Amino acid sequence: MSSREVVVLSVGGVRFVTRASTLQQFPESRLARMLNDDDREFKLVNGEFFVDRDGALFSYIMDFLRTLQVSLPADFSDYQRLQREAEFYGLYPLADLLSQEHLLKPRLEILEVHFSLQEMQAFFRIFGSCSTTIEALAERITVFTGQQSGQGWNSPFPSQKPLVPLPLERPSHHDMVFLCGTEYSAGDQFVARYVSIKPDNRKLINGTNVLGLLLDTLLKDGFRLISTRTVSEEKVECYTFERMKRPAGLTIVLNQTPGSSGVAQTRRGQVQKGK
């Protein structure tokens, strides 16, 4: 029986088809013992193993066995029930992770954009509750600078001279500062700053256009605009966004050693966001 490559299970009436090697990821589990007819809870009926458990929750068990990652939907709430199922199947590393709900639950993330216009320049400052989001956004934003002759704020095209990328100011891990527009240098020379936000390839100099692209980028990244306000004394426009951020996935690492059935360790790993 243990040499069978394809295994069919009926869990609470829900049918699953998988490889024997998938069920043997944890050799001491009841699923692994099932293949050796070593567990009476599992009945072999017409070539399928039947067990009277929750079939919907077992889909998460199978996903874990296939990927060794715990990745749950944003609206998932049955942590205790799934933990109980993991314990039933003898998957104790998974049960231990599920007992730490705070590591798996999505968290509310807040991001705020401050924008102000001063003569021919626009100033931006972005604050975020999650430093990794600010870091990722900073990698997508590039400021280019160069000198131009007789060109001002509304110039639609950058100078033919090569533009030099500038690093963004990072006052802390949770915010960034940059500006765009033009300022006088000497004579009819202007120092111009253009902003590009990936994946958009345009280099924008008009602050209002940059603001529009930035807000559109955040909306496409899953943020929701929840409030706008203006600080009249400083003439600063403030845009506040929020989104539910999925935590980094938790991955089980199996360390196989001679003469052992495998030791499970936990580490954080990146998993794809469910959409």
DSSP letter at 222 equals T
DSSP letter at 201 equals -
pLDDT (0 to 100) of residue 265: 47
pLDDT (0 to 100) of residue 119: 83
CATH number belonging to domain 6-103:
3.30.710.10
CA dist., res. 30 & res. 51, Å (int) = 11
pLDDT (0 to 100) of residue 55: 95
pLDDT (0 to 100) of residue 261: 40
pLDDT (0 to 100) of residue 136: 94
Contact indicator for 247, 97 with CB cutoff of 8 Å:
no
Residue type, 230: T
Residue found under tokens 């100011």:
169
pLDDT (0 to 100) of residue 275: 33
Q: What is the H or E stretch that residue 111 is in? A: strand 107-118
The four Cα atoms 99, 104, 106, 108 give a dihedral, to 10 degrees, of 80
- What is the 3-state secondary structure of 66-104? HHCEECCCCCCCCHHHHHHHHHHCCCHHHHHHHCCHHHC
pLDDT (0 to 100) of residue 101: 72
Q: What is the pLDDT along the chain (275 residues), one digit of tens a residue?
A: 444 689 999 999 999 999 999 999 999 999 999 988 777 888 888 889 999 999 999 999 999 999 888 888 777 888 899 999 999 999 999 998 888 877 677 788 999 999 999 888 999 999 999 998 999 999 999 999 987 665 444 554 444 568 899 889 999 999 999 999 988 766 667 789 999 999 999 999 999 999 999 999 999 999 999 999 998 777 899 999 999 876 655 566 655 443 344 444 444 443 333 33
Beta strands at 249-255 and 69-70: parallel, antiparallel or unpaired: antiparallel
pLDDT (0 to 100) of residue 169: 94
Domain ranges of the chain: 6-103, 108-245
CB atoms within 10 A of CB 199: 8
pLDDT (0 to 100) of residue 187: 61
Vertex 246: Cα angle to 73 and 177 (nearest 5):
155
**Greatest extent of the chain over all pairs of C-alpha atoms, in Å:** 90
CA dist., res. 2 & res. 34, Å (int) = 9
DSSP letter at 36 equals T
pLDDT (0 to 100) of residue 267: 43
